[in-house]
Amino acid sequence: MKGREDSLTRLTFNAPVRGIVKDIDVTTVGGVIPPNGKLMSLVPLDDQMVVEAKISPRDVAFIHPGQKALVKITAYDYSIYGGLTGEVTMISPDTLQDEVKRDVYYYRVYIRTDSNHLTNKQGKEFPVFPG
């Protein structure tokens, strides 16, 4: 009986945080995962989000780490749901070239949000999921 419990324990995966499975990399029955191999990606639900934004070179002079930011989610009407408040945590040291529009250059900016949900005027919360 103890051997079966040990086998079952080895087949059970427990996430360190509450979240949503984003990508499953191994789907083959009986598949082997190499040491340090990736089984799946997990998006935490109870954590702050980090938003990656593309900023035009002409606007980057007005942005600095530590600056307060407001992230507007295009899928939600800002006049109804508002946006996510946050703080600029990093700005790329140089411009990057857009992979699709090769003539477009931008700075990559990271913003850590204060929450992972939008709140409308009535106080109802709407979770925002990455991906």
pLDDT tens for each residue of the chain, 131 residues long: 676 776 666 677 777 777 778 788 888 887 788 888 888 887 777 667 889 999 999 999 999 999 999 999 888 899 989 999 999 999 999 999 988 888 999 999 999 999 888 888 888 988 887 76
In a domain, 131, yes or no: no
What is the number of other CB atoms lying within 10 angstroms of the CB of residue 18? 10
Co-location of 54 and 117 in the same domain: yes
Co-location of 37 and 56 in the same domain: no
- What is the span of the domain harbouring residue 13? 2-44
Which residues, 6+ apart, have CB-to-CB distance to 1 below 8 Å? none
In a domain, 8, yes or no: yes
Co-location of 92 and 76 in the same domain: yes
The distance from CA 46 to its chain's CA centroid, rounded to whole angstroms, is 12
pTM: 0.67
113 burial level (CB within 10 Å; 0-12, 13-18, 19+)? buried
CATH number reported for the structural domain that contains residue 104 in this entry: 2.40.30.170
Co-location of 106 and 85 in the same domain: yes
Rg (Cα) of the chain, in Å, rounded? 20
